[in-house]
Amino acid sequence: MKVAFADIKATYQRLKPELDAAYARVMESGRYILGEEVEAFEKEFASFCGAGHCVAAANGLEALELILKGCGIGPGDEVIVPANTYIASWLAVTNVGARPVPVEPDLKTYNLDPALAGKAVTSKTRAILAVHLYGLPAEMDQLGEIAARRRILLIEDAAQAHGARYRGRAAGNLGQAAGFSFYPTKNLGAFGDSGAVVTSDGQLAEKVRLLRNYGSQNKYQHLIPGGNSRMDPLQAAFLRVKLKHLEQWNRERRAAAAVYQEKLAGLKGLVLPQVPNECEPCWHQYVVRTKQRDRLKLALEQAGIGTMIHYPVPPHLSPAYSSLKYKAGDFPLTEEIAGTALSLPLGLQLAPGAQDYVINEIIKALE
């Protein structure tokens, strides 16, 4: 049997008539920059998140940059970021000229450790950028208390958290603003790059809207120096089709995650994800940890099962950040996760028979 780690074409095949109709609608409209499709997606996605505003953007990285710029964060400022994240969370901070201050995760959730985040706040700190890694919401209550007490912002990197919930509230509605990515493999993925800023702060939304489009509301009237981070209307039309199915797909992911949780429980040397009571993850990834990671990955590969490592090199050890002069051992928990984490197949390609096969092969490899 072959089990792909992810099969992004599967969603096209499932929704072909609707997606083809969306494509034709945009092509026939003659409107290829912003316009009705983008505006309709913005309304629908804001409503999905329970937030006041959505500003559709070109990708998730730029969505985060737009938030930071919109909040006036730049050179001389510090932003607390997880040490354990995809490098984009750090790049958003350095791309606006601010300094990322990495903080170790809680080893139970892999998300920012709130106690350590509190200790990292200085007089230069302007914000905490909390990542909901693998679709598990960060400890937003504790982080929110720190942010309120220290008068700094709490921003969500919700790139992996479409439909994840914290105390019943959706990601995107848990801080000052949230950056989403619709990279094709995300729970809500486009057929190309795109992203969005979601916020209930009307002033921030307006500023981000200007920054996204050359600082302009009306053509050739430039109110502030902005850039071009617009979402493509074709992607907006595709995302509108997929958004209608997102809750159902997330339910399917939750059901598959529950099967892994039950059937892999108690396997020696295998650490399964832990979900705090207040969190309802959207299971962007289902990540196990084991000291035998590389051996397990190879055994699964030989059995025709695709897996991935999220992420093999943490940002502080990436050559991109050599100028920050971090070295191995500076963030031991993050490095431990990078050395032991393995993401298992989850999503549309995972028929029940395929999941049983994956589980049996894991048991065989580890016993």
Ligand X SMILES: Cc1ncc(COP(=O)(O)O)c(C=O)c1O
Query: Which residues of this chain interact with ligand X, rule CB under 6 A?
Result: 59-61, 85-86, 88-89, 131, 157, 159-160, 181, 183, 193, 195
At closest approach, how far in Å is the CB of 267 from ligand X? 28
- Taking the least distance from each CB to ligand X, the nearer of 153 and 270 is 153
- Taking the least distance from each CB to ligand X, the nearer of 1 and 320 is 320
- Taking the least distance from each CB to ligand X, the nearer of 5 and 303 is 5
At closest approach, how far in Å is the CB of 314 from ligand X? 13
At closest approach, how far in Å is the CB of 193 from ligand X? 6
At closest approach, how far in Å is the CB of 163 from ligand X? 15
At closest approach, how far in Å is the CB of 174 from ligand X? 15
- Taking the least distance from each CB to ligand X, the nearer of 59 and 349 is 59
HSE at residue 91, side-chain half, CA atoms within 13 A, is: 13
- Taking the least distance from each CB to ligand X, the nearer of 109 and 181 is 181
Tokens of residue 244, six digits: 């209608």
At closest approach, how far in Å is the CB of 298 from ligand X? 25
34: which residues sit within 8 A by CB, 6+ positions away?
Answer: 213, 230, 231, 233
At closest approach, how far in Å is the CB of 165 from ligand X? 18
- Taking the least distance from each CB to ligand X, the nearer of 166 and 357 is 166
- Taking the least distance from each CB to ligand X, the nearer of 239 and 264 is 239
At closest approach, how far in Å is the CB of 91 from ligand X? 8
- Taking the least distance from each CB to ligand X, the nearer of 303 and 309 is 309
Report the residue number whose CB is nearest to ligand X.
60
Q: What is the 3-state secondary structure (H, E, C) of the chain?
A: CCECCCCCHHHHHHHHHHHHHHHHHHHHHCCCCCCHHHHHHHHHHHHHHCCCEEEEECCHHHHHHHHHHHCCCCCCCEEEEECCCCCHHHHHHHHCCCEEEEECECCCCCCECHHHHHHHCCCCEEEEEEECHHHCCCCHHHHHHHHHHCCCEEEEECCCCCCCEECCEECCCCCCEEEEECCCCCCCCCCCCCEEEEECCHHHHHHHHHHHECCECCCCCECCCCCECECCHHHHHHHHHHHHHHHHHHHHHHHHHHHHHHHCCCCCCCECCCCCCCEECCCCCEEEECCCHHHHHHHHHHCCECCECCCCCCHHHCHHHHHHCCCCCCCHHHHHHHHHEEEECCCCCCCHHHHHHHHHHHHHHHC
